[in-house]
Amino acid sequence: MSPRRVIGVDAGGTKLLGGVVDEELTVHARAHRLWRGRERGEVLDRMVEVVEELRAAEPGAVAVGFGIPSLVDYRSGTSLSSVHLPLNDVPFRDLMSERLGLPVLVDNDANLAALAEQRYGAAKGCSEVLLLTLGTGIGGGLVLGGEVYRGSFGAAGEMGHMVVDVDGPPCGDGCPGNGCLEALASGSAIGREGAEAARQQPDSLLARAAGEGREVTGALVTELAHDGDSAAVEVIVRAGWFLGAGMAGLANIFNPQAIVVGGGAIAAGELLLGPAREELARRALPANRNGVRVVPAHFGVESGMMGAAVMALEGSGGS
């Protein structure tokens, strides 16, 4: 008998990624979209399209798991609020199940990335795991005692909105905070700081790229940092310092065995994680800094998709 298959979908602020995954975590098909989900109807329609594309490519999926950038009431499957997609107060699970004709499970995207990494990835074998996803924003997922921790109604784990600089820039996108980790170490923040560095350092590769009309994004800053541009490296290192300061606070609170870092911004690799580890070691209490590993996500940018599939497998009686 062939392994059961499910569909996992990871919906980010700028991308949509889905896959057909079996119980052995083999991915049989993938579907990808870039988007700027501005309207609720458009967002839901695109999600349905991706699932139907995958069902056509690899029939037989028995359930669908969705990871969305939202506070989610896991018990009711309701999307409570989202700063990146128009999914406030949406009965997501029931709505999508009705449209797809399949059982649907839904959770916060970073929760699911943490689930995948704790069960099968970079933190396999650990019971206490934190995950930070660095992309458009910064998502956070907690696995405590071997289970996803969601808080009293699904709002736990918003680690991107912990304040690491009270005089820092406004977070925006519905967050009232200033100096949040997301405002200082996300891919968007790296892009913003890269644009400022281009203005201040006209001889840099960043400035040359901007002068050629290229948009200064986190991905471009990362690319030029790997090419050795000192201005770009400075931006990545600074983001790493803030990331490490946030990690130190989290390590002191949760005493995890592993902090997993994923999302698109992890393409910076050790340029980002090296300074983060140094700052964590400098700021955290000795017991917490000595007992934690900081590691890149094993599943990379597919952690959320794989976690959505794992949730669907476990929630429908699978592994």
- Do 106 and 71 reside in the same domain of the chain? yes
pLDDT number for residue 115: 96
DSSP 240-292: HHHHHHHHHHHHHHH--SEEEEESGGGGGTHHHHHHHHHHHHHHS-HHHHHT-
- Do 240 and 152 reside in the same domain of the chain? yes
**Per the structure, how many domains does the chain have?**
2
- How much is the mean pLDDT over the chain? 94
- Do 70 and 132 reside in the same domain of the chain? no
Residue 143 sits in which domain range? 126-186+229-297
- Do 155 and 286 reside in the same domain of the chain? yes
- Do 134 and 85 reside in the same domain of the chain? no
pLDDT number for residue 152: 87
pLDDT tens digits for 231-269? 999 999 999 999 999 999 999 999 999 999 998 888 999
- Do 148 and 285 reside in the same domain of the chain? yes
> What is the pTM (predicted TM-score) of this model?
0.90
pLDDT number for residue 249: 97
CATH number at residue 26: 3.30.420.40
In a domain, 84, yes or no: yes
In a domain, 196, yes or no: no
In a domain, 28, yes or no: yes
In a domain, 223, yes or no: no
For strand 258-262 and strand 175-178, is the pairing parallel, antiparallel, or unpaired?
Answer: unpaired
Coil/strand/helix, residue 8: strand
pLDDT exceeds 70 at position 52: yes
Distance CA 97, CA 79 (A): 14
In a domain, 218, yes or no: no
Coil/strand/helix, residue 315: helix
- Do 48 and 96 reside in the same domain of the chain? yes
- Do 90 and 106 reside in the same domain of the chain? yes
Residue 158's φ and ψ, nearest 5 degrees, are -80, 65
- Do 169 and 263 reside in the same domain of the chain? yes
pLDDT tens digits for 117-165? 999 999 999 999 999 999 888 989 999 999 999 998 888 999 999 999 9
